[in-house]
Structure 1
Amino acid sequence: MVNDTNSDFAVKRQLLQMQMLYEIGLAINESLDPIQVVDEILNRAMVMIDARVGLLIVKEDGASRIIGQVGTENDLTAILQLPEVAQAWNDSQLRQHQIDTPAGRHLCIVPLESRGETGGILVFVDKEHRGNTVGPFEEQDKSLLHSFAYQAGASLHNARLYESLDAAYEELKIAQRKLAQMEQLRALGDLGAQVAHSMNHILGIITGHADMYLNFGRDPDNTIQTIMATAESGQGVMERIQQFARLSVGKKRVPVDISSLIQDSVADMQTLWHGRQGEEAASVDWVLTLEATPATYANPTDLKEVFSNIVLNALEAMPGGGQLEITCRERQGSIFVSLRDTGIGMHEETQQQIFTPFFSTNEEWGTGLGLAIVYHIVADHEGEIEVESTVDEGSCFTIRVPIQTNPPTYPEEHDAALDLDS
């Protein structure tokens, strides 16, 4: 009779455990967010076996890294360095190990397998017993964890796979957006070249006749001078459009010291800004940290245009003065230039449009082509440009230019539609 009772109790306990594992499996598979999956795995497992601390360890670039932790543990480094943890990557058997410390810690190490590979390791520290005491894990705990490990391993694998696919998809979308923007810029360049050529001819006739009237001294109410000033302003816009169109034409490249180019650009912009603002120019704190970088094949005129344009934008964004910090450094085969100001900053909507041709927030001086030209030049050098900005705090432009140690080859001919000198 006693044996029958024990058997019934064992069967009921197994049924309860199966139900619990089923419910846990549903819970940890509800999400593909890696953070949520890790939290569910740890919290569910710890409740299941009454563990005091739970860790989830993965291997990245050959090194073990903790990506999830529940409970407080002061010996994390010691745990990561345990030989049993290293062995668990190649052994699917559960392991129980006691750290050799005065406190006498009890560990249960659980490899998480999926598709024949160990994708992570669960480490549980100390089982909590009644009376707030701790001790080693029991055979029942290890049996539950053995069944749980298969579900947890599959969930972790799926979540991390989804994360990598999602990241790859985001990179693809960014690449497609950049390609579409470059195609748009190229099309606008073709059209702009033709429009600018025609408009310059018309504006030239207007300024010529207006100048003739001025030479005869006929200018009632300064009307002719107004016509001249407006036409000359229009010619300035046409010159910018022509400059934008010429970016599509291959240009000779020479070894360039980018740090020196930045210094030249800063000097030019300081002179221009003080000339434009006069005595009213606000005080700007210039902070330049320019490391020595290898020479790279580039077009110095174009890159100087990039730095000058962004510096000028930064000065315009700080009408009351501020700080402009410029850094230049080499990292992993590229030169990174960062230009950070403490100006008025930009809203998210503005950041999305600043590289679009003819978009400008400066009604007095802007033509809306400056940053479009900057974007085109950086892309033409196989580089990237990004902007981060916060309203009332400032903006930061980061430019990456890959180091080119070999001279580029040049096409013998280019599109005649873009040849503005013909």
Structure 2
Amino acid sequence: MKRDILYVDDEPSNLIVFEAAFEETFNVYTAANADEALNFLKSQPVPVVVADQRMPDMTGVEMFGLIRKIYPHTQRVILSGFADSDAIIDAINEGQVFQFVRKPWQRVELLSVLHRALDAHDLAVQNSVLTERLLVSERCAMLGQASGRIAHEMANQLNILPLIELIEDDYREDEQLLEFAEVARLTYERLTELIEEVKAFVRFQPQNAELKPLDLDESIHELASFIRFSRTVPQEQLSIDIRARPKILGHKLKLHQVLVNLIKNASHAIADRTEGRVQVTLDKADGDAVISVSDNGTGISPENLERIWEPFFSTKGDAGNGMGLDVAKRLIAAQNGEICCESELAKGTCFTIRIPLLAEGKDDSPEKNSAAPANPSSAKPVPLS
């Protein structure tokens, strides 16, 4: 496949000669001045730019200084037949120019330079990717160390279960108080399981979750109670739309973890909008249970939409750690499902989760499935990562 080369020169005849010399080898684009070249790069970045040094308004070296700041991986080759080598040598030493070629150039020589420039571009891109991965690995290592300490302290402080049981035993006639206790118990279970996962992660033990038959409409109603008491979203801005009663093989707490994160993200997106709304919809289609969390908030730009699943990537600045959606994708995948996102700036965002329906009359939980092992501990768990 041909690679792209941009050639910049104020002499029309030079543009014609360069294009004729290399059009069979590369996709050659031309520009008559620096402004034209910079505008071209905005719409179509290229791996290599070749430019004449002596041009009106802006020299080749000056243009390369701007290109380097915006497109650091693009390699820059300067052509010159004048005795202004000091400026070019300085530019090479400062890293603004990949190589200087004296005019009149020879095709074989310049062709070799262009191939080496393309190799240098590819190497720079690979190094950038590896550097980013290394930074992510270092942050994960630091996160693991901190998580172990946090999990230990949380486990020491999480002693509210006796109080929950006391309320359930002594205040059975108080429906509202029992509802509070149920939300507290659900929160306790979620935190307890999360702490155990963190401990397992720090000890490099595999994290497994046993999937069980799950009535999603009941789970969504439980989630709605939790959201209402946690005040994640003002009650008047949140709506729940149950259009079907699908049943899946899933993990309730993991699913709640994902949905709470999505609802919190949606609440942030509508924070500055008086008419902001968040809607959770449950339906089924094409053999899947379908859960969507949508908002009419700020939306996500196309360039950020491509990166939202990356670990540590966040559009919230210091308010976010960039882990929520990466974890959400893993948790849904562990339940044999998938999650996707559609968004438009100034109009809103919709996250959609699809998980296969549990066939009617089928129950794959160990305690109910006669084909399952008698000992539940011998059933194969589904890995979460």
What range describes the TM-score normalised by the shorter chain of this pair?
A: 0.3 to 0.5
TM-score (norm 1): 0.39
Between structure 1 and structure 2, the one with the greater Rg is: 1
